[in-house]
Structure 1
Amino acid sequence: MAKLRDAKPSKAARAEAKAARKAAAKERRSQLWQAFTVQRQEDKRLLPYMLGAFLLIVGIGVAVGVWSGGFALISLPALGVVLGALVAFIIFGRRAQRSVYNKADGQTGAAAWALDNLRGKWRVTPGVAATGHFDAVHRVVGRPGVILVGEGSASRVKPLLAQEKKRTARLVGDVPIYDVIVGNGDGEVPLAKLERHLTRLPANITVKQMDSLESRLSALGSRAGTAAMPKGPLPGTAKMRGVQRTVRRR
């Protein structure tokens, strides 16, 4: 009898988990379709590129299947359909990502937003130093060591980076410290290439060392003061006073 009682809750839990997975999958499909609709309206080349890639790969699969004959006449066209759909989806993803970065480029808080969306084992602390004009330095701990990422006016960010680098060097010892300024000027890294720039840095420490390093650096705290960085890019046309009031309310 006890086993039957245990089986019922277990069955109900599995059914509930299955329903939750279905709901989550449906929501993801809905979000993906909305993103595709928006991107298609803004990017007139999206559909031609996706259809062109799909038809080209399917055509190659059919041609090779007809030439080979036998089982390949069935398998290669089917494989072409799968690969064509995959390539079309990749094209959509990359063009959508490029569009998002182009919109965020030059906006206040864009670098912090990009760092929060890094893929992989990165430990990001936004706004470890900042000015009242929303120039900021963000700290990233990863396999390369410590990376200080500055955004804002280069003339104001460079002194911030130099000061933060001195503070950080006192705690990290011989761990490498890199500094990066996000922007489109000489010696700066464009926002869209920031993740690629970080991933190309050499691996100098282990994941275990990263944990130890992060705990030591947390003692530094933040010198951002009242000029806390906004969560995500802000339109460049926004008036600074209104932006500051919004940030303070957060």
Structure 2
Amino acid sequence: MAKSRKPAQDKAANRAAKKEAKAARKAASKQRRSQLWQAFQIQRKEDKRLLPYMIGAFVLIVGLSVVGGIYAGGFTTYMLIPLGIVLGALVAFIIFGRRAQKSVYKKAEGQTGAAAWALDNMRGKWRVTPGVAATGHFDAVHRVIGRPGVIFVGEGAANRVKPLLAQEKKRTARLIGDTPIYDIIIGNGEGEVPLSKLERHLNKLPANITVKQLDALESRLAALGSKIGPAAMPKGPLPAQAKMRGVQRTVRRR
């Protein structure tokens, strides 16, 4: 009897585990849909062109698929119309995503911590160390390690950021030898890179080192550490009016 009872218990436990996993997936999916809907509602209120663009793209693509189906005739008609609906919905969703992303970057631009936030949210194998150097005014330099080599990204007033960049490049060059070092200042001035184009700019840099060299480089640069530490940096963009006296004092002490 004991032998027959154990497989039955195992089956019951497996069913319960599967049921729990299914419930968890459903809950996560529901939460994602809820967040997406909330994001859409916020974006729709702020961006008056969003709905016209989305509806226009959907109607245009469906219309073209209908015309193409009628022109082709036969079974192709019944294939193109559903395909046009799916494609139209996909393009409308892409438009929403692009405009929402653009809106987020526009709001973040010029705010303290915006560059660090943008770097942390990049896709790809980038190794980001925020706040390797900073001033009491919260101008900051962030270090990025990737296939191009080492990239220093500065945010804040250019006249204060440039000396910080020069110092970091100098002390890093002593340690990494011939590995290429790049520097970028976030902004809209001459020679600066807008926040919304930062990821694109980094992806355009040439691949100068291998993944194996990248890992070794990261280990070597870990020894340099940070002059202020990530704990002193804001976790995301801070409004210009935010009270940062305590954080600024922390930076000065370090």
Are 2:144 and 2:152, in contact at CA under 8 Å, matched by a contact in 1?
yes
Cα displacement string for residues 26-50 of structure 1 (whole angstroms, at most 9, x for unaligned residues): 0000000000000000000000000
Give 1:167 shift: 1.2
Correspondent of 1:29 among 5, 13, 33: 33
Alpha-carbon distance in 1 for matches of 2:64, 2:251: 55
Residues 1:89 and 2:93 aligned together: yes
Shift of 1:141: 0.7
Judge conservation of contact 1:136–1:152 (CA < 8 Å) in 2.
yes
1:76 aligns with: 80
- Report how far residue 6 of structure 1 moved: 2.0
Q: 1:56, CA displacement in angstroms?
A: 0.1
Within-5 A mapping of 1:84-163: 84-163=88-167
1:167 lines up with 2:171 in the alignment: yes
Q: Which runs of 5+ in 1 are unaligned?
A: none
Check whether the contact 2:139–2:157 (CA below 8 A) recurs between aligned residues.
yes
Q: How many residues end up aligned between the 2 structures?
A: 248
* 148-157 or 8-17, which deviates more: 8-17
Task: Give the distance between the partners of 1:111 and 1:202, measured in 2 at CA.
Answer: 21
Match of 1:230 in 2: 234
Query: SS state of the match for residue 220, structure 1?
Result: coil
Tell whether 2:198 aligns with 1:194: yes
Q: How far does residue 14 in structure 1 lie from its aligned partner after superposition? A: 1.2
Matched with 1:51 is 55
CA distance in 2, matches of 1:218, 1:235: 31
Q: Is the 8 A contact 1:129 1:224 kept in 2?
A: yes
SS in 1 for 2:223: helix
Q: Which moved more, 1:90-99 or 1:227-236?
A: 227-236
2: CA distance between counterparts of 1:217 and 1:37?
A: 44
Q: TM-score, normalised by structure 2?
A: 0.93
Structure 1 contact 134–227 (Cα < 8 Å) conserved: no
Is this contact kept in 1: 2:136–2:249, CA < 8 A?
Answer: no
- Secondary structure, counterpart of 2:150 in structure 1: strand
- Cα drift, residue 184 of structure 1: 0.8
SS at match of 2:233: coil
Q: Distance in 2 between matches of 1:243 and 1:192?
A: 26
Whether the 8 Å contact between 1:107 and 1:235 is mirrored in structure 2 is yes
Residue segments in structure 2 that go unaligned for 5+ positions in a row: none
TM-score under structure 1 normalisation?
Answer: 0.95
Q: Tell me, yes or no, if the aligned pair for 2:228 and 2:251 is still in contact at 8 Å.
A: no
Find the aligned partners of 1:225 and 1:23 in 2 and give their Cα distance. 37
